[in-house]
Chains A and B, each alone.
Chain A
Amino acid sequence: MSGTLEHLTVVELAGPRTEWCGKLFAQAGARVVLVEPPGGAETRSYAPWFGERRDRESSLHFWHYNTDKQSVVLDLVAEEGREAFLGLLGEADVLLDGSEPGGLGDLGLTREVIEGANERLVHVALTPFGQEGPMAAWKGSDLVHQALGGQMMMNGYDDMPASPPVNGQGNQAGHMAGSWGFIAALAALQTGRGAFIDLSVHDACAGMTENALPQYDYTGKVVTRRTGRHASVAPTPAWQHRAADGRYINAQLVNVSPRAWEGLVSWLDEHGMAEDLTDPKYFVPEIFREEADHISEVIGRFVATKRADEIFHGAQARALIFSAILNPEDLLDDPHLAARDFWIELDQGEPEGMLRYAGSAFVAQNSEVRPRRRAPHLDEHGQALREGLAKQ
């Protein structure tokens, strides 16, 4: 099946900020040319590594984010490299540029020069804090952005005095910003005109903290972190419980329908563990709210007698929004992901052969969004690209 965006060509200046955005284009079938500096992209030196190997062709970080891309080494400090770069832009639809504000201009690749190479180009400039402003020259990282963005202060423990706020893992600042770069670029393409998009990682993170702003604006109160559940202005009942196998369960009791409540109580009752929850008084919303801590404790005692997967599937069968709290390795043999072809095999070449990669979460009917090719070796496509440009 054809790739959803296979008609597009994207030039990506290699860097940690643009690689997720580039991957979103590449897995949809766009031709993504990764322009690497001599010596290779910075993230070729990021852990985790493939087994015991520690060279620039063995970073799993790089492998993950650069599937389907083509690699060309260009030295943008040199005239020749800049000319080749502008040649690539001439045939591109999108430029993904994670350089510091003004960074490309210092090399002579000003916005005017870039627009001169292709006036219909959609130029996505992805910086930590935006092109201008009092903090524009400041530096970020995943941790720093989730701190400033407000994510961290909402994650952590309220039953552990003086404990720090906690950062979410998995490069989420890069995912929040890079996904917005993809969205903004696709929107700009709808106009058929070129565009310069100034995207700030800080803005992207700061704008994703769910109800924190409305709570503050409407009540004047600041939400504070709660163990394993939503930050809130007032204490809330625990919804994370430990199962018999040591795993945890997310057992959120929000918007529980009468039918789901009946199912839950009768399930506990079958095991003689419903305690007083069989009392019809709990159908009264006010009493349900007042007794929330007690209800949580009864459920916690029940969860402690079952395996996490028994609770997960048993609860879902009763229309409850519970889930087992899975570890990443649990996803490898998850039957639902298998049925939806989440895991795929890609040919890594010699000596590794076929390796198991995560596919994409986008499921389309008439076209396809899924990685097809391993990340490129350094300058793997350089010669062909340079020869192609020389012929123009």
Chain B
Amino acid sequence: MARNGSLPGPLNGIRVLDFTRHLAGAGSTRILATLGAEILRIEWPHPPALDFLRLSGPHADGRPGMNRGGFFAQINVGKKSVAIDMSTEAGKAIARELIPHCDVIAESFSPGVMKRWGLDYESVRALRPDIIYLSASGFGQTGPYAGYRSVGPTAQAYSGLTATSGLPDREPAGWGFSYMDHMGAVMNAAAILMGLERRRATGEGEFFDAGQSQHGCALLGPMLLDVSLNGAQVRPKGNRDLYGNFCPNNAYRCRGEDSWLAISVREPHEWAALCETIGADDLVARPELATLAGRLAHEDEIDSRIEAWTQPCDAHEAMAALQEAGVPAGVAQTVEDKVHRDPQLAFRGLYTTLDDPVLGEKRYEDVPVTMEGFEVGVPGPSPWLGADTRDVLGGLLGYSGEKLEQLKAEAIIDDAITLEEAQAV
């Protein structure tokens, strides 16, 4: 649910100086924002401090612009934007002045950029000893591939996540989106929170060197021990369970175009309920199919019997019938299904609608948790570039109006704050 300010967020009072970009970086400070932290995005309309995501589509009314990107808006909800030209000495000095006022600093530039700006961990720690500092990159700050470039699909390919997803004996299907940008963001938020929790106990700061690709490797799960201890070669098995812990476990064709229902069975009572629902009295009567091992030996036969039942069925109706009988089943949903046909997501308020004067009324993905006594969730729209420069530098650093005008005239800072200005860029 979107926050309305009636209760505090659990991270109220935590301030983050945010140099992250794209989803893997900026997604982590989004998570902190949904939990109540104050996020100060340092950015600029030109490289190196430009977030290219601001230029990515889809755009409001199909017209490109710095403040018109729908994906950027999704990832930067409720943050503040402070426009500083970090290529200037005066700009770097302002960033250093902000550090003592911040609990966390997060960045996702290529290794070396923050050091060139005098903002590496050692320099920052001198200004704020208990700072929690996250450097997020594709392959980490050290090691032979430290300089390598990575986006989500790169990390997925390198880590084994791509190769293990697919139909047998075909090229990999991989992941049809940047899963490791999402999970990179999640792991980066987790690192920052571990640092904050340790600071709460010890009073000390911490530095995390996060590599998106390494996090991908760590997410292979039990495959890791299978290769290291059994010498296994893990190859994709389509939608069947890689290790046979569930059977049947597959996606079955339903009525209509490209309509599929996933079904997973492990327990004997689930198997009996499945057979009853699909009218397969003969299968439930066969004792060899009562065990997982027995069903795995007849998986082709079982799959074809299930699909013979699902094929003429509406996927959502078949799902409801199976779930009512106690069988784990789920439609392979599109985003349209999730928005319009999923009563549970609607009940939990996963999609929050915000009205933004530039973007219009749009949906935002909210958090998967509620926390009694606290408010968590999407805090508000994304910021126009530079919208909070004056408030932050005036409020936190006490810059006078005159000084702010001077810095703006020298093109050290910027502050697009009117709707016309926001629309224009």
A24 touching B190, Cβ below 8 Å: yes
List, sorted by A's number, 15 A–B pairs whose CB atoms are closer than 8 Å.
Answer: A150-B335, A156-B173, A157-B173, A165-B251, A189-B200, A198-B370, A201-B368, A206-B350, A210-B177, A328-B224, A335-B144, A343-B228, A358-B224, A361-B187, A363-B214
Query: Which residues of chain B have C-beta atoms less than 8 A from A227's C-beta?
Result: 171, 173
Q: Is A267 an interface residue (CB 8 A)?
A: no
B217 touching A342, Cβ below 8 Å: yes
Q: Is B419 an interface residue (CB 8 A)?
A: no
**Complex interface: stretch among A126-134, A287-295, A383-391:** A126-134
B217 touching A216, Cβ below 8 Å: no
Q: Is B373 an interface residue (CB 8 A)?
A: yes
The residue in chain B whose Cβ has the minimal distance to the Cβ of A147 is B262
A136 touching B344, Cβ below 8 Å: yes
Q: Is A321 an interface residue (CB 8 A)?
A: yes
**Minimum C-beta distance from B334 to chain A (A):** 5
| CB-CB contacts below 8 Å: A95-146 with B | 129-130, 132-136, 138-146
With beta carbons under 8 angstroms apart, the residue of A141, A148, A248, A325 that contacts B342 is: A148
Query: Which residues of chain A have C-beta atoms less than 8 A from B260's C-beta?
Result: 147, 152-153, 164-165
Query: Which residues of chain A have C-beta atoms less than 8 A from B145's C-beta?
Result: 316, 336
Q: Provide the B318-351 mask, 1 if CB < 8 A to any CB of A, else 0.
A: 0000010011111111111111001111011011
B186 touching A210, Cβ below 8 Å: no
With beta carbons under 8 angstroms apart, the residue of B52, B121, B218, B330 that contacts A145 is: B330
A147 touching B333, Cβ below 8 Å: yes
B350 touching A203, Cβ below 8 Å: yes
B170 touching A214, Cβ below 8 Å: no
**Complex interface: stretch among A33-41, A56-64, A69-77, A84-92:** A56-64
Inter-chain contact count A-B, CB under 8 Å?
513
Q: Provide the B243-275 mask, 1 if CB < 8 A to any CB of A, else 0.
A: 111100111010000101111101000100000
Query: Which residues of chain B have C-beta atoms less than 8 A from A366's C-beta?
Result: 204-207
Q: Total interface residues on A, using CB and 8 Å? A: 147
Query: Which residues of chain B have C-beta atoms less than 8 A from A154's C-beta?
Result: 175-177
**Minimum C-beta distance from A116 to chain B (A):** 16
Q: Is A235 an interface residue (CB 8 A)?
A: no
Bound-complex Cα distance A138 to B330 (A): 10
Query: Which residues of chain B have C-beta atoms less than 8 A from A165's C-beta?
Result: 251, 260, 332
Query: Which residues of chain B have C-beta atoms less than 8 A from A296's C-beta?
Result: none
A195 touching B183, Cβ below 8 Å: no
Query: Which residues of chain A have C-beta atoms less than 8 A from B381's C-beta?
Result: none
| CB-CB contacts below 8 Å: A175-228 with B | 175-177, 179-180, 182-184, 186-191, 193, 195-204, 206-219, 222-228
A325 touching B162, Cβ below 8 Å: yes
**Complex interface: stretch among B38-46, B76-84, B85-93, B146-154:** B146-154
Bound-complex Cα distance A154 to B372 (A): 34
A195 touching B197, Cβ below 8 Å: no
**Minimum C-beta distance from B336 to chain A (A):** 5
**Minimum C-beta distance from A352 to chain B (A):** 9
Q: Is B181 an interface residue (CB 8 A)?
A: yes
With beta carbons under 8 angstroms apart, the residue of A61, A139, A152, A255 that contacts B328 is: A139
Q: Is A362 an interface residue (CB 8 A)?
A: yes
A133 touching B347, Cβ below 8 Å: yes
With beta carbons under 8 angstroms apart, the residue of B220, B238, B344 that contacts A166 is: B238
Query: Which residues of chain A have C-beta atoms less than 8 A from B153's C-beta?
Result: 229-230, 239, 250, 252, 323
Query: Which residues of chain A have C-beta atoms less than 8 A from B143's C-beta?
Result: 335-337, 339-340
The residue in chain A whose Cβ has the minimal distance to the Cβ of B205 is A366
**Complex interface: stretch among B94-102, B358-366, B388-396:** B358-366
Bound-complex Cα distance A50 to B232 (A): 11
Bound-complex Cα distance A138 to B193 (A): 32
**Given A210-B181, A225-B176, A250-B154, are A138 and B323 neighbors across the interface (CB < 8 Å)?**
yes
Q: Is A357 an interface residue (CB 8 A)?
A: yes
B225 touching A342, Cβ below 8 Å: no
Query: Which residues of chain A have C-beta atoms less than 8 A from B238's C-beta?
Result: 164, 166
Q: Is A261 an interface residue (CB 8 A)?
A: no
Bound-complex Cα distance A217 to B69 (A): 12
Query: Which residues of chain A have C-beta atoms less than 8 A from B158's C-beta?
Result: 323-324, 326
Bound-complex Cα distance A5 to B197 (A): 7
Q: Provide the B178-209 mask, 1 if CB < 8 A to any CB of A, else 0.
A: 11011100110111011111101110111111
A141 touching B264, Cβ below 8 Å: yes
Q: Is B105 an interface residue (CB 8 A)?
A: no
Q: Is B221 an interface residue (CB 8 A)?
A: yes
Bound-complex Cα distance A165 to B339 (A): 19
Q: Is B223 an interface residue (CB 8 A)?
A: yes
Q: Is B165 an interface residue (CB 8 A)?
A: yes
Query: Which residues of chain B have C-beta atoms less than 8 A from A244's C-beta?
Result: none
B239 touching A186, Cβ below 8 Å: no
B175 touching A168, Cβ below 8 Å: yes
| CB-CB contacts below 8 Å: A276-295 with B | none
Bound-complex Cα distance A139 to B347 (A): 17
| CB-CB contacts below 8 Å: B18-34 with A | 23, 31
